[in-house]
A and B are shown apart, each in its own frame.
Chain A
Amino acid sequence: MLELKNVWIRYGKNVAVRKLTLTVNKGDFVTILGANGAGKSSTLNAISGLVKIKRGEIHFKGQKINGLKPGAIAARGIIQIPEGRKLFPLMSVMENLEMGAYLCKDTKRVRDSLEKVLTLFPVLKEKLGGKARELSGGQQQMLAIARGLMAIPELLMFDEPSLGLSPLLRQQLAEKIKEVSREGVTIVLVEQNARLGLMLATYGYVMENGQLVLQGKTSDLMQDEGVRKAYLGV
């Protein structure tokens, strides 16, 4: 479904990602692991079109998407839930959800997905009129996911969703992400919290200094000596 072929990303002279090749199949739950600065977020931003790639190609459902504007990529069904949530702080919860469905012109479809999203996140239902910035950290993360789902994504990419959440909230978040995956949405999860990523996903890529160093089933990665040492601290 998603294919990155020999992708390079550069900021000025600094190479953020080099020679990255990876594949995500329909229905997969893939995680990308790596330390801070390994190039994980750059990769997601390149897929979303926020960052231009210097070399290589990105294909989605057989079509080249690198070079398209972020809006055009979103219109094809690739939705990113960005790091730090990036909600619209002064807009209401409802308006944030509406913005998620910005590209959807079919009002009935929007209403249906709103209903679905509110069933998945009942906590948002009571807060629809309140401003996004008045929500707690956990609720804000839920809203960020709900806004992403409003776009009716085929591929949903999470960038560090657990950042800044307490262990309890992290657990709730994991449950919600699992539910979304069960609905049939293809997921790419970028996490510094490797334990969480490996626990949720079925396939994992490990990046170091902008390069792919390891990949495999998450069950295998969890047994890997290097991964255990570097990312799980055991």
Chain B
Amino acid sequence: MPPAGIWIDGLVQSCIYMTMAFGMVLVFSILGILNWTHGQFYMLGAFVVYYAVTAAGVPFPLSLLISGVIVGALGMVVEKLVIERLTGPGYGLLAVTAATMALIFFFEGAAGMAFGLMAKGMATTLPGVLDMGSFSISYQKIAVIIFTLVIMVAMYIVLNRTKVGKAIRATAQQPDAASLYGVNVGWVSLIVMGIGCSLAAMAGGIMGPVQSVDPFMGRIPMIMSLLAIVIGGLGSLTGAIVGGIILGLLNSVIAYKISYFSEVALFLLVIVILLIRPQGLFGAAPK
């Protein structure tokens, strides 16, 4: 059995993958596309928090919210200027896929020019550890876990209790009927892109003090959340959450057991899961 610290590190990673995967699936369920540049919104969110805290002296929790708002708005701009123009009649999936992939390098390049390529360390915003006897957890990591719980509960309430949320679910399940009853599908697309990117940004922001901040930090979380989505079943929000938890924990535990070989083992495991359930754990069985 790996020590508790390994599980906690895994859980912290789970939180990030879960939040990222949730946003990607939400966008996919409405727009029908994978936003390949999701990881760069994570990175930009971390930079917003970094500069808000270190340069402007904004309190950490407030700077998280600010990064969610700014990067969420940026996601809406991307939806309006890029994604909306490349979807719809006459366009295949390839155009919008290529465009969002190109944005990966655009955002990374832009961040590199603006903020420099060197990794920036951020002082711990929540110093101290919680002593649990045989092991201890830093408050910073506890913050990540609590933050994720709050986000997930908030998302549950928004999707199930509010009119906007019901419009989002209705559009995901039956877009034609939703528009017949007055839901503006273009507007819903904009909203979910804003929510998805805002979640990614806040996930990046909360990890700022745990890791370091650099223009390429979005790549690994992006790949991992993609894997989480594939394991959980593309299109299922529950799947994104469970996939994220499984992946974060496994990644940490496997790395502890066999270090360098860990990614190989992880991908092997994903392949095995997909061999047994090609639609993912929570995906609908193909008709």
Give chain A's interface residues, CB within 8 Å of chain B. Answer: 48, 50, 69-71, 74-75, 79-80, 82, 86-91, 95, 98-100, 102-103, 147, 151
Contact = CB atoms under 8 A, between A and B. Distances in A.
A120 B131 CA distance: 63
B180 A50 contact: yes
A80 B173 contact: no
Contacts of B166: 91, 95, 98-99
B181 A147 contact: yes
A100 B169 contact: no
B181 A103 contact: yes
Interface range for B: 10 to 19
A47 B66 CA distance: 44
Contact of A91 (B170, B180, B181, B183): B170
A79 B182 CA distance: 10
Contacts of B176: 50, 82, 86
Interface in B223-269: none
B35 to A, nearest CB: 23
B16 interface: no
18 contacts: A48-B180, A69-B184, A70-B179, A70-B180, A71-B179, A71-B181, A71-B182, A71-B183, A75-B182, A80-B180, A87-B177, A90-B169, A91-B169, A98-B166, A99-B178, A99-B183, A102-B181, A102-B183
B173 A90 contact: yes
Contacts of B180: 48, 50, 70, 74, 79-80, 82, 86
Contacts of A147: 181
B255 to A, nearest CB: 37
A103 B179 CA distance: 11
Contacts of A50: 176, 179-180
A90 B169 CA distance: 9
A147 B178 CA distance: 11
A151 B181 contact: yes
Contacts of B170: 88, 91, 95, 99
Interface in B166-197: 166-167, 169-170, 173-174, 176-184
